[in-house]
Amino acid sequence: MGLLSTITSPEDVRRLTPAQTEKLAAEIRTFLVENVSRTGGHLGPNLGVVELTIAMHRVYSSPRDTMVFDTGHQSYVHKLLTGRQDFSALRKAGGLSGYPSRAESEHDVVENSHASTALSWADGVAKANVVAGRRDRHVVAVIGDGALTGGMAWEAINNIAADADRRLVIVVNDNGRSYSPTIGGVANHLQTLRTTSGYEAFLEWGKRTLYRTGPPGRFAYGWLHGLKKGLKDVVAPQGMFEDLGLKYVGPVDGHDAEAMEHALRRAKAYGRPVIVHAITEKGRGYTPAMEDVADRFHAVGKIHPETGLPVAPSRFGWTQVFADEIVQIGRRRSDVVAITAAMLHPVGLAPFSQEFPERTFDVGIAEQHAATSAAGMAFAGLHPVVAVYATFLNRAFDQVLMDVALHRAGVTFVLDRAGVTGDDGASHNGMWDMALLRIVPGLRLAAPRDEATLRGALRAAVDVDDAPTVVRYPKGALVEAIDAVEEREGLDVIARHIPGDGAPAGRRVLVVGVGSMAGAALAAGESLAAHGLEVEVVSPTWVLPVPEALVKQVGEHDLVLTLEDGVVDGGVGAMLAQRAGEQGVQTPFVHRGLPVAFLDHASRDQVITAQRMRAEDAVRDALAALSRD
């Protein structure tokens, strides 16, 4: 099994010789490729931080010293070095989380896998250490250059630099990428640091000094003067950090374990806030990942380890539909522009950017800026389409409310991975958006159920120029088309079940399927009809504000069953019941959806089953409610 099998804690890592450390790094890369290819997960980021993480555990003593990983998807190596080497169920129910998890280990601190938060965590822990008199403890935060594009990271740096009496080290893992190449002023500054060669500059200034010094007696003075000037100019690009009051160490080769150890020991000995700038390669040591320009290996499904090709080709999915439709819209509308928060490929904006590069804006991991910048674009006559994962819109709620909605800006937010995503755990389920956005004045939200309704919703959304619009859709492959059997006042009726001739008149049940739950609503409707009930199944594409036609339908039925893949408390079903009640309608409701809780990582089907959101669960609850009435 090699060295890796002997590592049960960081103490084992600190006992290794330099040669053994190099061997361990190679074994870890082999382990990651072999195991993550079987389960799926974040492969590229972890291959890039092997030596860096080993060096951290050799210099610092976790958990006494606190280690914080920004975003957390690069924590697999940390897991291995802290005794967690069973990756057989990675990101599956009962197995290891794909992110740090306090439930797994005392070595894990920050579970939130949203980016740009680690420096604030580190600042808080370091301040607490000072207040509590724990002067011998250190805090180390690892943050990528991509996460440094987030404003929260700079708010933290501003505070860290303001109070230098803390043992805090910021390791900038600089690989030039997040999901895509890192952009912006910070990225440009780091690029300057990366490309400044101290050795070449040293030779150049030394050579010029020798030519100037004249007689040998003046050689030493001239040489030292030239060296001082040369080194000053060489390190000048680090001024941005040192002007803030942060000592800067680097750039360091992040794949040279000894160099990383040396840099970290220097930072540790300094005893004050330090930035250690490590240059790494995402996907290091795995040829398919290193040769991939689209960064497909940031996160992978099951792949063939030899080639990196998927074991099962992915089916045409929701994101591809958006990618195609937004390009078609862009061809018709020159005012439509696209905004992404460092996720051009994952959210499907790459084709739009290729055709309309001047109308595509990657703002980095800065969802708040994306929303407010979009409001400014709308004021200036454009119609921005902001595409983000549903979970990440949480970060920009204030901007949606106060900058977009308050100013009646025509901005469309497209929320990918809405509802249950499962594998990535609590922080990535896109389950909060409908409950949050229902309180935004004037906002209109669509939850399409299939390809046709997604395309239609996008076209309708960009036609709204006096309010924010939102289009949400789930992760994964498309479902079969679910056609309407009737359209009533803009409301899609997707099934109707009426008892046959001679059958006793049944009680009337209205089943409302929101977005991806339309299929479950259809199945529930069939099952209820089998119990002799008259059933109508509807799937409104536009769910916020609640359609008046839907409120009217409530009053025509004896029970309403709602199914949604968002938080059920305060969700669409709850709002429908509220609107009906305001009009004096007393029809009872049964709501099925997600609880107000953080859900452990599991597959979507497992989450749906555990939360009793299957059609059979809904039917059982509906029949019980009818029996009580």
Annotated binding residues, written as ranges, equal 73, 113-115, 145-147, 175, 286, 367
The amino acid present at 454, given as its one-letter code, is L
Residue 485's alpha-carbon distances to 425, 549, 610, in angstroms, are: 37, 16, 32
CA angle 314, 319, 322 (to 5 degrees): 140
CA–CA distance, 68 with 18 (Å, rounded to integer) = 25
The amino acid present at 26, given as its one-letter code, is A
358 burial class (0-12, 13-18, 19+ CB within 10 angstroms)? exposed
Phi, psi (rounded to 5 degrees) for 384: -80, 140
The string of DSSP letters for 262-292 reads HHHHHHHHH-S-EEEEEE--TTTT-HHHHT-
Side-chain half-sphere CA neighbours of 412 within 13 A: 25
Annotated binding site for Mg(2+): 145, 175
Residue 64's alpha-carbon distances to 9, 107, 129, 275, in angstroms, are: 13, 9, 11, 21
The set of catalytic residues is: 282, 367, 395
Phi, psi (rounded to 5 degrees) for 336: -80, 125
Which residues, at least 6 apart from 232, have a Cβ–Cβ distance to it below 8 Å? none
CA–CA distance, 615 with 595 (Å, rounded to integer) = 17
Reply yes or no: is the peptide bond before residue 346 cis, omega within 30 of 0: no
Side-chain half-sphere CA neighbours of 106 within 13 A: 7
Annotated binding site for thiamine diphosphate: 73, 113-115, 146-147, 175, 286, 367
